[in-house]
Every structure is written in structure tokens, then in C-alpha cells.
Amino acid sequence: MSEIPFLVKLGDALEKAMASEAAAGGRRRNRPLGVWRSAAPTILLAASSLIVCGVVAIALTLHSASRHTGGNPLARALPVGSGTRLDGHAGPVSSVAFSPSGRLLATATENGTVQLWDLRRNSLSGTLKGLVRIVDSVAFSPNGRIVAAGSRGGAVRLWDAPARRQLGGALKAHAGSVYSVAFSPDGRILAAASAAGTVQLWDAHSHRLLGQLNNHAGAIASVAFSPDGRSLAAADIRGTVVLWDVRSRRPLGASLQTHHLVNSVAYSPDGQTLAVANGDQGTVGVWDVQRHRLIRTLHIGNSGPVNSVVFAPHKRILATGSGTGTVQLWSLPGDKPLATLNGGTGPVSSVAFSPDGRTLAAGGFSGTISVWRGVA
């Protein structure tokens, strides 16, 4: 089974992109851009960073417009010198994930490292050892004690997050690279999706293989549990999204046929809709999971792929990250973006909301983390 192409999932073509960037003058540096106003007059988006080639950014905080009158809202909210840039990654960032407390950010790279960042001290808290291949996905368990990472070669590794130590050997039964990992909401099950077109379900504590889901014809780029943990969405690069009953391990009705290469899926907080990022064009499909039908299409506004989607917890706000370097926020059921954060030419590979829904992390290419604090 071939690997997922670069703009769809950071893959084997990454080295060529990095070489081209170096030939063009090296990495671009990021800087604060200012304030992006949304289409809705009651919302301000104070941009906390610019997503550039290779950036992980703690990006956006929602504000009521009534809290800022006159002047520059960002300048009023941010003390001088509050912007912080954290360096530490040697390669592009492929995945980002917040801890349940929101105090740690896990970042994974194509050079085989997973790093934990302390967002209170703006510093690197630790590097998780044991990986030697490209890491495509990272996830925290719901209790914050376990970090899981899926990598090329078919291995999934688990770490004790507080102790920064590996938990046993690698979980390896996949024939292909692991592109996506996700914990069930109760933390008991870890789903791992592979390039071989299978999803394996593991007991997150005993590390015992519980079962395998096999109804896919192509590499699976993304998996996501529903908020109640009863179903699992698995999307493959041939455009098929299967909704699985986790207990019976059977498909829940007919598959969702998107007719597009799919990069990422995310359930809404109420579990009623599923956002599907189309990797071969700049759109996101929003599906009714009960009726298995497409209810709207979000047009990102560029010709690049959408690489990542995520809902804000407890809200109907959807964030999208695209291969052209933009991050957009959408308020469903609307089909117009609240705001667009244009990060230049660097592709955005992963987006994640903090547990309180106020901060957004976006991972890209440079291996730099930009953090802006103090926004009220």
C-alpha cells in the first residue's frame, strides 16, 4: 500500500519540499499579525500568531466585541513583550494535541520525536523517547496520563505522560504505517488506523488487541470517536467514511461516499454531525450521521487541500487547516467563515482546540511554536 501524498498527509515527499524551501532562502520567521474581524459584528478574533512554514501556533482566542472599544484590541489585551516563541523541533510538525488540563501540548514530527510543552512556563517539558520513524499522529488519553503516537512502520507507542516513560513495547500488528490514533471518551480503547486499510482497537491499559475493522479499500487517514464513544468514524483516502459500532464492530448503515480524498474527520460536540476534510480540493463536507447524508459544504476559498478539522468543545465552532497555510473558523450551521487566518505559504497539517475551546493550536512546517499570552 502506497503512502498518503504529502499535501494530504505529511509523507515521503516532505524531504523534497524542505529542500525546495532551503533553496529558496530557508525558513520564514513568524510574527504577530494583529486582529482579524469576523463576519459577525459581535465577534473579534485576536490572532495570537501567524501560521508560517513549519509553525506550531497557539493561535486564536474568541472575544466579545463589546470588551474592546476603540484602538487596537490586540494591543490593549497583550502587554508589550508577551509574545513567546518556543524552539525545539528539528523537523516539520505533523500532529498537535492538548492535554485534558490544557497545560500541556504534545507535538509530533516527521523526524520521529514527540515533545511535551508546558504552556504555563512556555517551555519544553520533555521529549518522549522510543520512536525512530516519522510520527503522523499523537493523542492524549482523557485522563491525561497516557500519550499515544502512531508512526510509519505500523507501530503505536504509549507513554506515561507524568513520568515521561514508555509503557511496555510497541503495539504492532498493522502491516502498514499508522496515520491516526484516537482514544475513546472513557479512555479504555485506543483506535489506530493504518495505510493497510484497517483500524485496530486496543485495550489502552492491558495493551491487548480487542479487534480489527476491515471494511476499507484504501489507506485510512483519520479516525474519530463520537462524543458518547459508541461509534467510530474512519475515513480512507478513496473517499469512503465508515461509521462503526464500537461494541459490535459492525458498520452503522451504509458508508458515507464523499467522492473525494479524505484527510481528517471530526464529530460535533453533540455527535449529530461529522466534518470531513476533503484532501483533493478546498472543501469540508458536513454530514448528518443519523441520516448518512451531506447537509452542507464549506468552501475554504482556495484550491489547496484541507488537511485537518476540529470542533471546539461544547460549541458549534469548527476550525479548518489547509495545505495553503490558512486556518479558518466556522460557526455551524452557517456556511461562511467567521474569520480566516492567513499564514502565508506554509501548509497547516494539524489543528487542535484546548479543552476550554478558547485557544487553538495549529501545526505546520518549521518546528517552531509561537505562543501569545495575556489575551483577556
Domains of the chain and CATH, by start? 14-218+245-253+336-372 (2.40.128.630)
Instruction: Using the predicted structure, report yes or no on whether residue 26 has a pLDDT greater than 80.
Output: no
Q: Which pLDDT belongs to residue 35?
A: 26
Average pLDDT over residues 266-286: 94
Whole-number pLDDT of residue 179? 94
Task: State the pairing for strand pair 53-58/365-372.
Answer: parallel
How far apart, in whole angstroms, are the C-alpha atoms of residue 250 and residue 215? 9
Q: How many residues does the chain have?
A: 376
Query: Residues 357-371: pLDDT tens digits?
Result: 877 888 877 666 544
Residues 6+ apart with CB under 8 A from 213: 198, 199, 200, 201, 232, 234, 242, 244, 249
Q: Read off the pTM.
A: 0.77
Q: How far apart are CA 223 and CA 235, in angstroms?
A: 6
* pLDDT over 90, % of the chain: 44
Instruction: Tell me the mean pLDDT in the region 84-107.
Output: 83
- Give the model confidence (pLDDT) of 319-328 as tens digits: 998 888 787 8
| Mean per-residue pLDDT of the chain | 75
**Sequence letter at residue 237:** I
Rounded to whole angstroms, the Cα distance separating 337 from 215 reads 34
Tell which residue, 350, 346, 351, 352, has the closest CA to residue 365.
346
Number of Cβ within 10 Å of residue 40's Cβ equals 13
121 or 17, greater pLDDT: 121
- Cα 165 → chain centroid: 24
**Contact in structure between 312 and 320 (CB atoms under 8 Å):** no
Residue 13: Cβ within 10 Å count: 12
239: left (phi over 0), alpha (psi -120 to 50) or beta: left
**SS3 state of residue 23:** helix
At residue 213, does pLDDT exceed 60? yes
**Among residues 267, 213, 272, 265, which one has the least CA distance to residue 241?**
265
Confidence of residue 221 (pLDDT cuts 50, 70, 90): very high
Which letter does DSSP use for residue 14 in this model?
H
Structure-derived torsion over alpha carbons of residues 244, 151, 348, 296, reported in degrees to the nearest 10 = -10
CA atoms of 266 and 6, how far apart (whole Å)? 21
CA distance 194 to 177: 5
At residue 77, the 3 state secondary structure works out as helix
pLDDT (mean) for 162-187: 90
Quote the cell numbers at residue 102: 490544557
Please report, as a single letter, which amino acid is at residue 29: R
pLDDT digit string (tens) for 337-364?
887 765 443 688 888 888 888 778 888 7
- Identify the pLDDT of residue 93: 83
**Which of 58 and 128 is assigned the larger pLDDT?**
128
Q: What is the pLDDT of residue 78?
A: 25
* Closest among 128, 131, 167, 169 to 151, alpha carbons compared: 131
Neighbours of 191 (CB within 10 A): 29
Please indicate whether residue 77 or residue 236 has the higher confidence score (pLDDT): 236
pLDDT value, residue 174: 67
Confidence of residue 4 (pLDDT cuts 50, 70, 90): very low
CB 141 within 8 A of CB 191: no
Most confident residue range from 126-130, 166-170, 324-328: 166-170
Most confident stretch, 39-48, 146-155, 323-332: 146-155
Q: What is the mean pLDDT of residues 94-98?
A: 92
pLDDT tens for each residue of 232-274 = 999 998 899 999 999 999 999 999 999 889 999 999 999 999 9
* Averaged pLDDT for residues 23-46: 29
Using 50, 70 and 90 to split pLDDT, how confident is the model at 58?
A: very low
